Amino acid sequence: MAKRKPEPEPENPEPQKTLNRGDSAERDTTPENPEESPETRKWSLNDFEIGKPLGRGKFGRVYVAREVKSKYVVALKVLFKKQIEKYNIHHQLRREMEIQTSLRHPNILRLYGWFHDEERIFLILEYAHGGELYGLLRENTCLTEKRAATYILSLAQALVYCHEKDVIHRDIKPENLLLDHEGRLKIADFGWSVQSKNKRHTMCGTLDYLAPELVQNKAHDYAVDNWTLGVLCYEFLFGVPPFEAESQKDTFQRIVKVDLSFPATPQVSAEAKDLITKLLVKDTSKRLSLQKIMEHPWIIKNADPTGICNN
């Protein structure tokens, strides 16, 4: 499975503080006054000890960090203002921050607050010890039906919560899903999310996970997230997205036609295929609802309702 490669980032100075060896243990506390409004809590880099890098992307890097007073371990996402200006994403970033800060769900990564200096913007995020779900897929190629069902149930529960708050995620994919120290799944990136009661018209997301209405530039709503759960379920069980093709054009055509087929191997149950088939439906009114996903026989039979996956 090929990684969707991030673009190179500009050379910018990194935070200089470091954690001592062995100092990354988690604690059952939260950053001091985590519920305080980011506008009233005056965070700064001096509030954190910065540890190892966790990842890098087009606009910056992510580090493990520890809040000095509470000793609580967080992830610090460092974004470079030059890149934000270059790509003119001020509005998108502010929307992402406002949406993620407002969400409180066990399967959604918390954004505790943010601060900035002359060159950088810092997002204070919940630390997910298990890293990206993409890494787990790369190591194992395919997941067991029990693990796959547990993740789909967790995602459905999180999306029910989001949709009740009029939030459409629009970019659910393995790179945007993290795992905590117990193996619980967390939706981590809300860069393409929108909060609206109305249908949207912006084409956004990642190629293999786009719903037909997005590919065809039609108005879309919450059902695009339901479609993505079908794509993910397929990828969890078969190791590749269902509409993967040699070119972008061919992938688009397969999505629009819902050119869906199931390989003979690995062996996957008829119930799992039934769920996937009912999610990957072009007519959004006939696409399986989140509630029906959670009630599906395959989910009932296989998913751990605690959401914990450690094996």
Comparing CA positions, the residue from 221, 214, 224, 234 lying closest to residue 275 is 234
Q: Specify whether 259 is catalytic.
A: no
Separation between Cα atoms, residue 188 and residue 61, nearest integer Å: 14
Task: Assign residue 289 a region (left: φ > 0; alpha: ψ between -120 and 50; beta: otherwise).
Answer: beta
Q: Which residues of 14-23 are buried (b: 16+ CB within 10 A; e: fewer)?
A: ebeeebeeee
Neighbour count for residue 181 (Cβ, 10 Å): 11
**Angle, helix 270-279 to helix 145-164, in steps of 10 degrees:** 30
**DSSP-derived 3-state class of residue 144:** coil
Separation between Cα atoms, residue 65 and residue 124, nearest integer Å: 9
Neighbour count for residue 194 (Cβ, 10 Å): 18
Judge whether 170 and 193 are in contact, CB under 8 Å. Answer: yes
- The H-or-E segment that residue 51 falls in is strand 48-56
Judge whether 48 and 68 are in contact, CB under 8 Å. Answer: yes
- Side chain identity at 88, as an amino acid letter? N
Active-site residue, from 28, 47, 166, 171: 171
Catalytic residues: 171
